[in-house]
Structure 1
Amino acid sequence: MEGFWWGLVGSSSLVLGALLVLWRTPSRRLTGLIMAFGAGVLISAVAYDLVEDASESAGGWLLLAGLAAGALTFFVGDLLIDRSGGDHRKRSTGAQSSGAGGAIALGTVLDGVPESVVLGSTLVGGGGVSIAVLVAVFVSNLPEAMAATVGLRQAGMSTVRLLSLWGSTTLVSAVAAGIGYAALAGAPPEILAVVQAFAAGALLTMLVDTMIPEASQFGGPVTGLVTVLGFASAFGLSAIGG
């Protein structure tokens, strides 16, 4: 239950992002800049709270295998979902109108599960949840939900369906965090390291596929600076926590 509740906190920004858009639709540039900041935060969390931690318990080849497996797993799953009508699911342009609702929902869950499992795994060892990873999950989910909600509204999805989509995704992510904690509690350090590397590979692939294109297209010339700001902010939290 502890993993579940922390997962719920981290993924609650999905609902918050949708509510913000339903209250007042942001400009595409603002959405892109928030997306850039979230991408920077998540990149930092992957580098310092996943890969660096994992490197202390497992050798380089094992970590490379975990990274490759995570990246390939997400790539194949995402490719199948895209071909089923879930492509452009997090775009703010309304391109989702040509897709399938079920595939969009499934793809949204696919994007959120790896980071939630990682969030739950940070509880292993009894040291409490990693604040840096919690902030990374929360901040990165917010712009994803905002951009996708803008696009889904333009594609004609009703308010009830939107809130149902993000509410169910939040619950699934919370369950994934709980499962991550329960499944990895007592696991050897090498197994935990491989899981962290696997999640890192999946998250990096997701970033390039869904977040960075939106940020680059609409954020304007300061997109890179905002991404670095997000990276530095998360790194600072990680350093303080360490």
Structure 2
Amino acid sequence: MKETLEAGAFGLLAGSALLVGAVLGFAVRFPRLVIASVMAFGAGVLLSAVSFELIAEAHREAGMVPVVVGALAGAGLYTGGNVLLARRGARQRKRSGHVRQQPSESQQAGSGLALALGALLDGVPESAVIGVGLADGGAISTATVAAVFISNIPEGLSSSAGMKSAGRSKGYVFGVWGAIAAAGTVSAMAGYALVGVLSTAVMAGVMALAAGAIITMIADTMIPEAFEDSHLAIGAITVSGFLLSFALSHS
């Protein structure tokens, strides 16, 4: 029970960065290039964590087949959920409103709920792997917690800025990100609990599934905000985030 609560605490810690980003995004109107830069940095951090802490670990434990099956399944599940939510107004949920505007409730009824569910769809895989990593020996969890925490700040910042621009209230914005932080706590605890009942191959597949979902999320929601109408240093900033996460995972 103590270890399960510890996993939940790590998940809450990582998820709390969404609230930090939301406060910054709601309280301060950052220039477009600043938001693009921090989003690119966060994308690089997550890509590195997925590559070296999830895919590589899953391959080491169970080989290529669970990795391929799990990653493709994760990408498919995320894409399916994202398509459904995009049709209901959540397509631009990571957008700050500088280039592409999130829809207001008057423009598309139900878009507020879709945005909240989209944030949940983005956050659950990240949190779940924290619990999985902790149960799998602890080495993976430290780097993953750090990567998720770092990447969650620009996610919360950009998305909350877009919500504010679309006319959503402070209570709605902070309520959404507070709920996602709570869901991250539960997801991390569930990830920890899964390890004790699944075989090594299945567990590797679950790790790869989460990785596939995260990579798809980065490509669908983070990279477009970072790279659309942005400056030429974005690529170098993304690499910087990648290297920071790599250093954390090999320290």
Runs of 4+ in 1 over 6 A off after TM superposition: none
State the alpha-carbon separation in 1 of the partners of residues 189 and 6 from structure 2.
7
Deviates more, 1:204-213 or 1:131-140: 131-140
Matched length: 240
Task: Identify the residue that residue 234 of structure 1 maps to in structure 2.
Answer: 245
- In structure 2, the residue matched to 1:221 is 232
Deviation per CA, 1:65-88: give whole Å up to 9, x if none: 111100000000110111122211
Match for residue 126 of structure 2?
115
Deviation at 1:2, TM superposition (A): 1.3
Pick aligned residue for 1:17 from 17, 21, 40: 21
| Aligned-residue identity in percent | 41
Map of 2:102 onto structure 1: 95
CA deviations 1:100-133 (Å, max 9, x no partner) are 1111100110000001001111111343662211
2:57 corresponding residue in structure 1: 53
Partner residue in 1 for 2:182: 171
Whole-angstrom CA distance in 2 between matches of 1:136 and 1:125: 18
**Does the CA-based 8 Å contact 1:86-1:104 persist in structure 2?**
yes
What is the aligned counterpart of 1:148 among 159, 166, 169?
159
C-alpha contact 1:90 1:147 (8 A) present in aligned 2: yes
Q: Distance in 2 between matches of 1:129 and 1:58?
A: 16
**Whole-Å separation in 2 of the counterparts to 1:175 and 1:201:** 20
Following superposition, the deviation at residue 28 of structure 1 comes to 1.3
Map of 1:182 onto structure 2? 193
Return the TM-score normalized by structure 1: 0.95
Distance in structure 1 (CA, Å) of the matches to 2:74 and 2:169: 34
Contact 1:45–1:235 (Cα < 8 Å) also in 2 = yes
Partner Cα distance (1:112, 1:217) in 2: 23
Q: Residue 78 of structure 1 is aligned with which of 78, 82, 88?
A: 82
Q: CA deviation at 1:3?
A: 1.3
Deviations 1:118-156 (A, max 9, x none): 111111134366221111111111111111111110100
Q: Is the aligned partner of 1:208 residue 2:208? A: no
Match of 2:171 among 139, 160, 182: 160
Does the CA-based 8 Å contact 1:96-1:151 persist in structure 2? Answer: no
Determine if contact 1:66/1:195 at 8 Å carries over to the other structure: yes
1:104 aligns with 2:111: no
Aligned residues: CA RMSD: 1.3
Structure 1, unaligned stretches of length 5 or more?
A: none
Q: Tell me how far 1:186 sits from its aligned partner.
A: 5.0
Q: Name the aligned partner's letter for residue 207 of structure 1.
A: I
Range with greater deviation from structure 2 (119-128 or 132-141)? 119-128
Separation of aligned partners in 1, 2:79 and 2:226? 20
Please identify, of 17-26 and 113-122, the stretch whose mean Cα deviation from structure 2 is larger: 17-26
Contact 1:119 1:177 in 2 (8 A): yes
SS of residue in 2 equivalent to 1:95: coil
List gaps (5 residues or longer) in structure 2: none
